[in-house]
Amino acid sequence: MKKVYFDSAATTKIREDVITKMTDVMSEYYGNPSSSHSFGRSSKTLVETARKTIAKQLKVSSSEIVFTSGGTEADNLVLISAVKDLGVKRIITSKIEHHAVLHTVDYLVNNFDVSVNYVALDKHGAVNYSDLQQLLNASEEKSIVSLMHVNNEIGSLLDLKRVAELCKTTNTLFHSDTVQSIGHYELDLQDIPVDFIASSAHKFHGPKGVGFAFIRKHSGLHAMIHGGEQERGLRAGTESVHNIVGLETAFKLAYQNLEMERNAVTDLKAYFVTELKNTFPEASFNGDSSNLERSAYTMLNVCFPFEANKTQLLLFQLDLKGIACSRGSACQSGSQKGSHVLAEILSDENFKKPSIRFSFSHYNTKEDVDYVIEILKAFAAQ
């Protein structure tokens, strides 16, 4: 049976070069990076070299890169410390953020003296910048804005620089979950005055369990995980050297191959959109996900014109045929509530229809698309 992996927004296939590099590190560099002997110093050098690699690409200081277990920890670190340590009293976010942000905001609202405002969205799930400006001007309380760069379900793109500059005019902190964009988009953080970002290696063909936070120097953030003085006191715990080197290797390869791989994936997405429109004229594309300029090139979210009673069967049928995709974020796969993102932007009628997120990488081919279309046609004919 043919196997097709169209779920790269959930996690990506690890590059072979990354696996090789990580294996070498595990074999040869097993010293604790905090140890003062040569074994420890060798491991420490690998960690600091990785930090410098990331910082150079983002055009920031290496001291502003903090390694974490992934995007969720980075989001938690920033938001919790902003409230507990920086005196933030108000959070401005949207209702279609990743749950790593939304659930952290709920925790803070329920346990601390902090309020939340949700910025208005248009029918495609894009931020209303005029409403954001009004929210920023509505209060003099110390605030933080938390808005993701690329939505993980519908691919909506945020104008990071525009939001960062709006925040600066009101002395508001700005945090962005860039988990779906790091490794896929070039970010110049010298030009974009964002205060904090979060990233996760497994979204750009690196290992799971490692990521980083960018924390603008002199931010005043404090550690969330306490213990040793690793990561300049911002994240205690022995660094996972092989994972950090895996992150670095995947990060370097992502940007070295960015133009070629982005063009290939963009062409694949355009082909998929055309084939879907030809095969299912009544299908619609959630958000702006079919628009190659206003959505991420890495994903497509489709609402199929099938009866509501086929909603649960569609993913099951695709899985039986060897096709991996998603009805929403992998983080909510155990939930029966459906996508909170689609619930926010779809009509009740369309929300009941089956919506599928297909997400791509350079490992995918047009033959993969043709196979999926074939299976979808067979399902529709049942």
Q: Can you read off the two tokens belonging to residue 208?
A: 């799971």
Max distance between CA atoms of the chain, in angstroms, equals: 68
d(CA 262, CA 252): 15
Active site residues: 331
Q: Can you read off the two tokens belonging to residue 171?
A: 């002395």
DSSP 8-state secondary structure symbol assigned to residue 7: B
3-state helix/strand/coil string of 93-120: ECCCCCHHHHHHHHHHHHHCCCEEEECC
Q: Can you read off the two tokens belonging to residue 107?
A: 């925790």
d(CA 331, CA 93): 19
DSSP 8-state secondary structure symbol assigned to residue 156: B
d(CA 347, CA 296): 23
d(CA 94, CA 152): 13
